[in-house]
Each structure stands twice: as structure tokens, then as C-alpha cells.
Amino acid sequence: MTDVMKAIVQTTEGDPSALELQEVPKPELQPGEVLVKIAAAGVNRADLTQAQGNYPPPKGGSEIIGLECAGEIADAGDTDRSVGEKVGALLVGGGYAEYVAVPEGQLLPIPEGFSFAETAAVIETACTVWSNIVMEVGLKEGETILIHGGGGGIGLMAIQIAKAIGAKVAVTAGSAEKLEVCKKYGADILINYKEQDFAEELKNQCNVILDIIGGPYLKKNMFALAEGGRMVTIGLQGGNKAEINMGIMMMKGISLHGTTLRRRPVDVKAEIVRQTVENVWPMLEEGRVKHHIHEVLPLADASKALGFLEASSHTGTLVLEP
């Protein structure tokens, strides 16, 4: 086994189009890690944010973009895993490459009947959705959830998991086509944010809001929240600044949460992975939750994949294959 591999390298800082396939050193394993030979890597909006220079990896994390992959264990390190074992992996970085080092607690089984590409398309979204709408804010059967960006990978996964829990699902999206996809995956209330005011449509109705926009939506989100409502922000596509009306927050008993999956400690991520496999993997295997792959591209076309995200011209998830 050689000590080099091919990976996507950003040649101009802050420019998502400046991504090239180059030879780089293969990762060295740390205690408790395995080396995965990547067969497919998922593409996430966080990857675009990193390529734009706004989401650097945590200290010690790989500079290579990519937060999820699927493949085979090439080196089991000091773990009890087996070489050749087929796995998915939740990553802190390093997915846009031929190999990646992964803490054992962040490995997931391949769902029954799933390909590598299908597995890579659901890991980060499933872990993000389950950890936020269930572990963080406790969505329950019979509650109403509003999901912003319903047509994206996170959005479509959130729609399905929320429906599987027994919640009523409202979504926002920017086109009739995307809303139609949301409806196909189970959304009950469809709101085109370019034509409708979601806060007026959902005034005091939402028990939970999954927000990817940030600052510009805070006031309207609080207007839409019901008494005792919980909002969790996982993205800042619209910006990170907002003025908050503490009076409304107090009168309604609203709680506001903000999380990032990537920067959580290894033991916390291992628990998120464990709960996701326990709860979401059966939904995938039984067909109650489905993947939605927009397109599978060669790894060398990483910049093209991020271009889809930048233009918001996709639905679901994009996948890269070395």
C-alpha cells in the first residue's frame, strides 16, 4: 500500500471553483481509528461553506473537504474491526479523497439493500436531523414542525423522519418544483417563500422549527412558533446577526437552540451515530425513509457539485465517487 492518495485540494482560498484532484499523503491512523477506502462521498452545504472560507475544520481535523463517506476498511488499526468490512462514516473532514481516517465510534453499517453511494447520501443528513429535531428539541408525535429549505438533503431527510415520528410537517422552498418533491416525501404544508409569508401562514402553530437561514428569519420564526415552541438553528445561509424580542420569547416560553455537528466532541458524535443507527437505519431499511440522490459525479468534478449547491439548483443530495 503506497503512502500517497488522490484527494481534492483547494488551490485558491475562498474559491469553490478552484478544486483540483492531486496527490497528497495518505492519513496516518491515531489510536481508535480505522482507515476507510472511500467508494462514495456525500456532498453537503457545509462543504460549500468551507470552500468559501467560512467554515474551517476544527483543530486537528483534515483540511480536505467532505463530511461523510462509505467504503471498505483498508486498515483496522488497533480496533477489533475487520479489513474489507463495508461501512459508512461520519467525518470531521477528509471525504473528498481515496482514503480517510475515522474514529471507530463514527462508523455506521451499510443499511440493508443500500449501495455505497446511497449510504454516503444519507449519513450526515440522518445524523444531523436526528440529533437536532429529536435529541436536541424533542419533536414528538402530533406536533407540528416547520422545516426551512425543504428541498435540500437535510430538508428531505427531516420531512421523512418527522413523518415517521408522527408529526405534521410544514416546509419552505423557493420553487413549485422543489415543493412538489417535498410533497412527494410527505410534507403536509407547502410554502413558497418567494410568494408567501411563512410567518403569517403558520402564526403560533409550530412546535418545532428546523432553521438553516439564521438571522433574517429569527423574527418570523418566533412569530410562527407556538407556546412552548423550540427552534434549532443549524445553518446561517442568510447571515448570523438578528435582533431578538425577549418579550415574545418569555411570553410564549420559546427556547432557541443552535448546533453544529462537526465540532462536537468525539464521544458525543459516537452517541449521535449510535442513536441514528438504532432509530433511523430501520426506517431506511423498511422504506419509511428514502434517500434522494440528485446526481452522482466523479470526484474530480467536486467543484461542479459545489456549483449545484451555490446555485440551489438541486434537490436532495449529490454524491462523489473516486
What phi and psi, each to the nearest 5 degrees, are found at residue 217? -100, -5
pLDDT for residue 312 is more than 90: no
Q: Which amino acid is at 52?
A: Q
pLDDT at 72: 98
Domain 4-122+291-321 is found in CATH 3.30.499.10: no
> Cβ(117)–Cβ(68) under 8 Å?
no
Q: Is the pLDDT of residue 154 over 80?
A: yes
Looking at every residue in the chain, the average pLDDT score rounds to: 96
Taking residues 43-63, report their average pLDDT: 94
Residue 1, pLDDT > 80, answer: no
* Residues β-bridged to residue 295: 318
Compute the distance between CA of residue 47 and CA of residue 42 in angstroms, rounded to an integer.
10
Domain-wise residue ranges, the chain: 4-122+291-321, 126-258
Phi then psi dihedrals of residue 135, to 5 deg: -70, -35
CA separation for the pair 182, 99 (Å, rounded): 34
- How many whole angstroms separate alpha carbon 34 and alpha carbon 299? 22
Q: What is the mean pLDDT of residues 64-76?
A: 98
Residue 116 near residue 71, CB atoms below 8 Å: yes
Spatial CB neighbours of 177, under 8 Å, sequence gap ≥ 6: 315
Q: pLDDT tens for residues 3-29?
A: 999 999 999 999 999 999 999 999 999
Fold of 126-258: Rossmann fold (3.40.50)
pLDDT digits 0-9 by tens, 206-217: 999 999 999 999
State the pLDDT confidence band at 33, using cuts at 50, 70 and 90: very high
121 and 90 Cβ atoms separated by less than 8 Å: no
Q: What is the pTM of this model?
A: 0.95
Rounded to an integer, the average pLDDT of 60-70 is 96
Query: How large is the C-alpha radius of gyration of the chain?
Result: 19
